[in-house]
Structure 1
Amino acid sequence: MSTEPTDKELIAQFKQASQKQAAFRLLLQRYSRKTYWHVRRIVISHDDADDVVQNTFIKVWEKLDSFREDSQFYTWLYRIATNEALAFLQKKKSNLTSSMEGFQDQLGEKLVAETYFNGNKVELLLQQAILTLPEKQRLVFNMKYYENLKYEEMEAILGTSVGALKASYHIAVKKIEEILKKSLNQ
């Protein structure tokens, strides 16, 4: 009976030169899909998400030797992925000469054009409503609603208090409900 190594064991193996690549490959297999969808919900586009995830894992490769294990590996990874995604969006926003509303419109257009939508109107409306949220609320909503993370896990990833996260989520839910009611009543 073979059991998969824990993250802690893989990190220890990574720190040994002879096992570095094999250990990293296992971490990549374990977390690449979850990381992709986490990033995808932030940047929307498949191609952009691929780029951000690649940059995330490059940073993980470069910094894993110095990982102190004060937190769980995946919260550390998610923090890197979140920061990379937000930096990507910030760069993209600054490259646009239009307003923030124009940027949100552009994300909305990408959303409709993406192939992972199967035409489910309610899901599309939900995603469009999520795009209207401020960045922090959007992040918190996605992490809670789609990834089912606990507030304590989000606290470790985002560096924000549990109380503030709960408030952000509550406000986000209310805004989304309002937008969906308006959209569905039209």
Structure 2
Amino acid sequence: MLKNLTDEELVSSILTVTDNKPFMEELYNRYEKQVYYKCMLLSGDKVFAKDLTQEVFIKVFTKLNTYRGDSKFKYWILRVTHNSCLNFLRKKKTAILFENIEEESEDAYAEDPEESTEYSVELLKEALKELDPQEVYLLNLKYAEGMKVHEIAKVLEIKESAVKMRLKRLRERLSTILKPHLS
């Protein structure tokens, strides 16, 4: 029955119903994996990501009354996640991004390492380390998550033109970083 409710209906029920635990559990179950993934992406550490996920949901449930419904709940919770992770990174001052990227392919053991996927993944990991966590997050939203520019703009609370410009600059910057290695 709860699975048929929209996010907005769940939020309304959490705020108005006395016994709101089932509604909170449903909302948690819907977004726990997405929130964890974002936390993992930005923190680079499974333990921190689990802790951050819990912190995000504590924040979400305590600040739920501030959700105005101007945009989809999904965008609001992703924004809370984004801000919580950035605050964490500011406190820790370090982030290891994409440390657990492991990709094997048939050519991973090629004699020429420049032709191997493993080498390409390592180059990309090194290039991403030169970017800020916010920049990596933006690239992830666009290319890993497949979000459209207008969706990214909602999540980051910036204009679509700003998203387009940031993506363009990031592509150029990555190209500059990778160019010496890709002759």
Normalised-by-shorter TM-score class: 0.7 to 0.9
- The aligned residue for residue 136 of structure 1 is 134
Point out the more displaced range, 21-30 or 80-89.
Answer: 21-30
Where in structure 1 are there 5+ consecutive unaligned residues?
A: 94-102
Shift of 1:127: 3.2
Shift of 1:157: 2.1
Q: Is the 8 A contact 1:117 1:124 kept in 2?
A: no
The aligned length equals 170
Q: 1:70 to 1:55 in 2, by over 3 A?
A: same
Shift of 1:51: 1.5
Structure-1 separation of matches of 2:52 and 2:125: 20
Structure-2 separation of matches of 1:157 and 1:79: 5
- The aligned residue for residue 167 of structure 1 is 165
Q: Which 4+ stretches in 1 moved above 6 angstroms?
A: none
- The aligned residue for residue 75 of structure 1 is 75
Q: Is the 8 A contact 2:103 2:121 kept in 1?
A: no
The answer as to 2:37 corresponding to 1:52 is: no
TM-score (norm 2): 0.80
* Partner AA of 2:139 in structure 1: F
The answer as to 2:121 corresponding to 1:123 is: yes
Q: 1:22 to 1:125 in 2, by over 3 A?
A: farther
Q: Which has the higher contact order (CA 8 A, sep 6+)?
A: 1
Structure-1 separation of matches of 2:127 and 2:66: 39
- The aligned residue for residue 66 of structure 2 is 66
Where in structure 2 are there 5+ consecutive unaligned residues?
A: 105-116
Q: 1:7 to 1:86 in 2, by over 3 A?
A: same
* Partner AA of 1:117 in structure 2: E
- The aligned residue for residue 36 of structure 1 is 36
Percent identity between the two aligned chains: 28
Structure-2 separation of matches of 1:175 and 1:43: 22
TM-score (norm 1): 0.78
Q: Is the 8 A contact 1:13 1:19 kept in 2?
A: no
Q: Is the 8 A contact 2:150 2:160 kept in 1?
A: yes
* Partner AA of 2:102 in structure 1: F
User: Residues 110-131 of structure 1, C-alpha deviation per residue, up to 9 Å, x if partnerless?
Assistant: 81xx4x6355623343233222
**C-alpha RMSD of the superposition:** 2.5
Which secondary structure does the structure 1 equivalent of 2:70 belong to?
Answer: coil
Point out the more displaced range, 4-13 or 74-83.
Answer: 4-13
Shift of 1:6: 1.0
Q: Is the 8 A contact 1:151 1:166 kept in 2?
A: yes
